[in-house]
Structure 1
Amino acid sequence: MTAASLADLESVVRRNESPDVALANFSGRLASDPEFRPRLAELLDVLDGIPLIMLSDSDETATALEAIRQGAHGYISTTIGLTMALEAIRLVAAGGIFVPASILHRLILGQDTVTDPVLHAALSVPTPVVNGKPHLTQLTPRQLAVLECLQEGKPNKVIAHELGMRESTVKVHVRNILRRLGATNRTEAACRVMREEN
């Protein structure tokens, strides 16, 4: 199945036979690109738990590690062969995480060190927790930001404007938040979080 846009992807994910793994081509986009993180976050939110493998023309260590830190389950660069790429897809489908050996090798040899701020951030994986409540750890940082807006009673259009995303993306976030919190509507989700905080 293919999807040319986030809207196309949403319809694929909503079908009963949603994919076991998703592959997204990021071409040569690097972690230093200001659009890298927001685009990856949107993609992961729409996939909602379907493992993502990023395809890239780059084998830059910081980019691969940032993709994994953000929630991707694999990073396949054009430097690896087709046989290895197929095995990487199988590994991710089975629940594993794949990063090319060349990247891991550079880290082990110290050719890329954690003194680099991008690498340091990529290696420290924060757990999204609000007020120390464990049931919120399932939510992504973007979902937590949307949830905070929901608690303030803001409509989707306002949330989209304040968080710099499309209204359709906010709707996806809200749907995922409701499901993960076991709530039937926005008000119930906000109330559940407020009860936990008290």
Structure 2
Amino acid sequence: MTAASVADLESVVRQDGAPDVALANFSGRLASDPDFRPRLAELLDVLDGIPLIMLSDSDETVTALEAIRQGAQGYISTTVGLTMALEAIRLVAAGGIFVPAPILHRMIIEQSRVPDPALHAAFSVPAPEVNGKPHLTQLTPRQIAVLECLQEGKPNKVIAHELGMRESTVKVHVRNILRRLGATNRTEAVCRVMREDN
């Protein structure tokens, strides 16, 4: 199945027989690109648990590590051969994480030196902790931002405008928030979170 846009991806994910793995082509976009993190976060939120493999023309260590740190489960650069790419997809489908060996090798070498701040940030993965609220550790950063807007009673259209996303993406976030919090509607989700404040 293919999806040319996030909206297409939303409909693919909702279908019966949703894919076991999703591949997203990021071309030569690097972690330093301001659109990198928001675009990746949006894809991961829409996929909601379907493993994502990033396809990239770059084999930059920091970009690969940032992709994995953000939640991608694979990073395949165009330097990887077809046989290895197919094995990488199988590995991710089975629950593993794939990063090409040359990138891992550079990572090990760079880690032994004094790391630059970007590489250091890519290595540090904080433990899940959201204001001591156990429910919130199940949510992605974008879902938490949407939930905060729900707590203020904002409609989807306003949330979409404030967070720089499409209204359809907000609806996906709300649906996923409700499911992860075990709530049947927006009000119940907000009440569950507010109870944890007490």
CA offsets 1:155-188 (integer angstroms, 9 cap, x no match): 1111112212221111111111001001011110
Q: 1:135, CA displacement in angstroms?
A: 2.5
CA offsets 1:110-143 (integer angstroms, 9 cap, x no match): 2785632222221112345322122221111111
Distance, in Å, in 1 between the alignment partners of 2:114 and 2:175 is 37
| Residues 180, 113 of structure 1: alpha-carbon distance in 2 compared, 3 angstrom cutoff | farther
Residue identity in the other structure for 1:14: R
Matched-pair contact (CA < 8 Å) for 1:74–1:99: yes
Q: TM-score, normalised by structure 1?
A: 0.95
Distance, in Å, in 1 between the alignment partners of 2:39 and 2:79 is 23
Residue identity in the other structure for 1:57: D
| Residues 81, 182 of structure 1: alpha-carbon distance in 2 compared, 3 angstrom cutoff | same
Distance, in Å, in 2 between the alignment partners of 1:130 and 1:12 is 31
Structure 1: 5+ residue stretches without partners = none
Q: What SS does structure 2 have at the residue aligned with 1:109?
A: helix
Find out whether 1:115 has 2:134 as its counterpart.
no
| RMSD between superposed Cα atoms in Å | 1.4
Determine the structure 2 residue equivalent to 1:178.
Answer: 178
| Residues 127, 161 of structure 1: alpha-carbon distance in 2 compared, 3 angstrom cutoff | farther
Fraction of identical pairs, as percent: 88
Q: What SS does structure 1 have at the residue aligned with 2:54?
A: strand
Structure 2: 5+ residue stretches without partners = none
| Residues 168, 133 of structure 1: alpha-carbon distance in 2 compared, 3 angstrom cutoff | same
Distance, in Å, in 2 between the alignment partners of 1:109 and 1:183 is 47
Determine the structure 2 residue equivalent to 1:74.
Answer: 74
Distance, in Å, in 1 between the alignment partners of 2:63 and 2:150 is 32
Matched-pair contact (CA < 8 Å) for 1:55–1:76: yes
Residue identity in the other structure for 2:117: P
Q: 1:102, CA displacement in angstroms?
A: 0.5
Determine the structure 1 residue equivalent to 2:60.
Answer: 60
Determine the structure 2 residue equivalent to 1:137.
Answer: 137
Matched-pair contact (CA < 8 Å) for 1:107–1:113: no
Determine the structure 1 residue equivalent to 2:18.
Answer: 18
CA offsets 1:31-85 (integer angstroms, 9 cap, x no match): 0110011111111111010000000000000110110011100000011111111
Distance, in Å, in 2 between the alignment partners of 1:57 and 1:91 is 21
Distance, in Å, in 1 between the alignment partners of 2:168 and 2:4 is 16
Matched-pair contact (CA < 8 Å) for 1:128–1:140: no
| Residues 182, 57 of structure 1: alpha-carbon distance in 2 compared, 3 angstrom cutoff | same
Distance, in Å, in 1 between the alignment partners of 2:169 and 2:41 is 10
Matched-pair contact (CA < 8 Å) for 2:51–2:93: yes
